[in-house]
Chains A and B, each alone.
Chain A
Amino acid sequence: MTAITSPAPALEWQHVSLDLGEFALRDVSLRVDDGAWIAIVGATGAGKTLLLETAAGFLRPTSGRVVRGGIDVSGEPPERRGVAYAPQDDLLFPHLDVRRNLTFGAIACGGDVGRVAELAAHLGIAHLLDRRVAHISGGEAQRVALGRALLSGASLLLLDECTSALDEVTRAHIGEVLARERGERRLSIVQVTHDLTEAHRLADAVVEMERGHLREGVHHASSIRAHHAPGGARRVSG
């Protein structure tokens, strides 16, 4: 096994497999160091979302382990994982307005509810706070889902195509907001994206998935951007 430099990585998938027919994970091992930002890229159906959802507790692997902060959380319910997930389908609560969606996790996890107005302003959704989520656009919904994850106070973010509905300028701005939040709160981030440029610009490392496998080799962003923070993702060979 590759030497592990950090005693307790933020997240580690250890030989995780899961078969849902059309989508599958096959013996995936990946480590996310504390404070690292890794991007996962790959074709549609490669298993990227499945991988995130095994970490979020939405899906349980048929074999292998999901380890969070050194603790095996494979059998733990989502609320005991300390993970904030912004999924591809947003999953905003339709019976709540934008403000209450944003603070939903903060109320339970001890996040900073008082930051809602400030964060909403950073994300460009301050004017939507009292609106029902049925009355906002797809791009706005994505930013609400991202804000909700950020406000929850969790130190690990799982982001699945969370800026796909945004225009390029807004996407770049949201990237900056994320980078600032990460720096201020030492967040670890695992981001699924189809945007390679964004992945290389923001992440410490880029890994590629193909048909349920991680492709050999990890593309460390440090080789692309020398001034990036150390650490990142390591493909762990068993």
Chain B
Amino acid sequence: MLAALFSLTAFVAVLLTSGVFYSGLERVAALLGSPEARRSIGLSLATSTIATALATVFAVPTAYALTRWRVPGRGVIDVLLDLPIVLPPLVAGFCLLLVYAVLERVVGGVTGPFDLRFTREGIVLAQFTIAAPLAVRVLRATFADVPTRLELMSRSLGHNEAATFRRVSVPLARNGILAGIVLVWARSVAEFGPVLIFAGAVRGKTDVLPIAIFLSFSNGEIETGVAFSVLLIVLGAVALVAIRRLGGRLVVG
């Protein structure tokens, strides 16, 4: 048992540190400091933060409603909201493109600010497509942990359901919500498939970190790709530590 534990841990550790051994920390730092890399990092952080904020705005009330209310068609809603999480991410991006194709047939095209294909706003939409259902799934587990008797007590003391949600449910779920936000943000930063299909892989325009890694390896710029990979691993580690400190759960359901 111990042998399995140590060998698996060692395997993952070697895997995750291989980038640093390959290029060296100094080289990784130098590559990440280049203007192109900093722009790519900034784009990644900005889009994933906006996508996470949007996902949270939709997911908090949705998760609460699904946890506390008798919603008609609950089974169908559960499957629909979970599907983007289990689908191959490429399919989610492809579906986004198909929505536009269908809209073109129905209303004769989507243009102007509503046409998000191959744009930076499109990156946000692609990330949101996965982030929102994931946030709902995580936050449902969080709200399920809030004792309903405390909510009833709040209501018996004169606070209606909305006030109780604001004064009791959300504060009691605060750490779980924060952990969920960090998890969803980390997933959004790492989102590749839907971004590639819907926003494209255009250097200088839609090259968020995973796309930048893809472009670097495609063009033979191995060390640049390694540097971006190391950064994503570090961001993932920071996110995991944050989630752990907040007492959040990674296993949801």
Contacts and interface: CB of A to CB of B under 8 A. Distances in A.
B104 interface: no
A104 B168 CA distance: 11
B149 A83 contact: no
A56 B154 CA distance: 11
B157 A56 contact: no
A56 B156 contact: yes
Contacts of A105: 157-158
A85 B161 CA distance: 17
A95 B156 contact: no
Contacts of B150: 91, 93
Contacts of B167: 104
Nearest to A158: B156
A77 B154 CA distance: 11
Nearest to B149: A91
A91 B158 contact: no
Contacts of A94: 172
B156 A58 contact: yes
A17 interface: no
B156 A78 contact: yes
A93 B152 contact: no
Contacts of A91: 149-150, 153
- The main secondary structure of chain B at its interface with chain A is helix
Contacts of B156: 56-58, 78-79, 81, 83-85
A58 B149 CA distance: 8
Nearest to A111: B158
Interface residues of A, number: 22
B149 A93 contact: no
B160 interface: yes
Nearest to B155: A78
B157 A148 contact: yes
Given A94-B172, A95-B171, A108-B163, A79 B158 contact: yes
Interface string B153-195: 1111111110100011001101000000000000000000000
B149 A79 contact: no
B149 A152 contact: no
Scoring B157, B158, B168, B171 by chain A CB atoms within 10 A of each residue's CB, the highest score goes to: B157
Nearest to B148: A58
Given A95-B171, A108-B163, A89 B158 contact: no
B168 A93 contact: yes
B152 A152 contact: no
Interface in A66-97: 77-79, 81, 83-85, 87, 89, 91, 93-95
B153 A79 contact: no
Nearest to B172: A95
Interface in A13-61: 56-58
Nearest to B152: A58
Nearest to B157: A105
Contact of A57 (B155, B160, B161, B171): B155
A224 interface: no
Contacts of B157: 79, 84, 104-105, 108-109, 148, 152
Contact of A87 (B153, B154, B155, B174): B153
Nearest to A148: B157
Nearest to A103: B157
A61 to B, nearest CB: 16
A95 B153 CA distance: 14
A171 to B, nearest CB: 23
Contacts of A93: 150, 153-154, 168, 172
A85 to B, nearest CB: 5
B69 to A, nearest CB: 13
A237 B156 CA distance: 29
Interface of A: 56-58, 77-79, 81, 83-85, 87, 89, 91, 93-95, 104-105, 108-109, 148, 152
12 contacts: A56-B156, A57-B156, A58-B152, A78-B156, A79-B156, A84-B156, A85-B153, A85-B156, A91-B153, A93-B168, A94-B172, A109-B158
Given A58-B156, A83-B156, A91-B149, 17 more contacts: A78-B152, A78-B155, A79-B156, A79-B158, A79-B159, A85-B153, A91-B153, A93-B172, A95-B168, A95-B174, A104-B154, A104-B167, A108-B157, A109-B157, A109-B158, A152-B157, A152-B158
Interface of B: 149-150, 152-161, 163, 167-168, 171-172, 174
Give the 8 A-B residue pairs with the shortest CB-CB distance, closest first: A105-B157, A108-B158, A78-B156, A109-B158, A91-B153, A78-B155, A95-B171, A79-B155
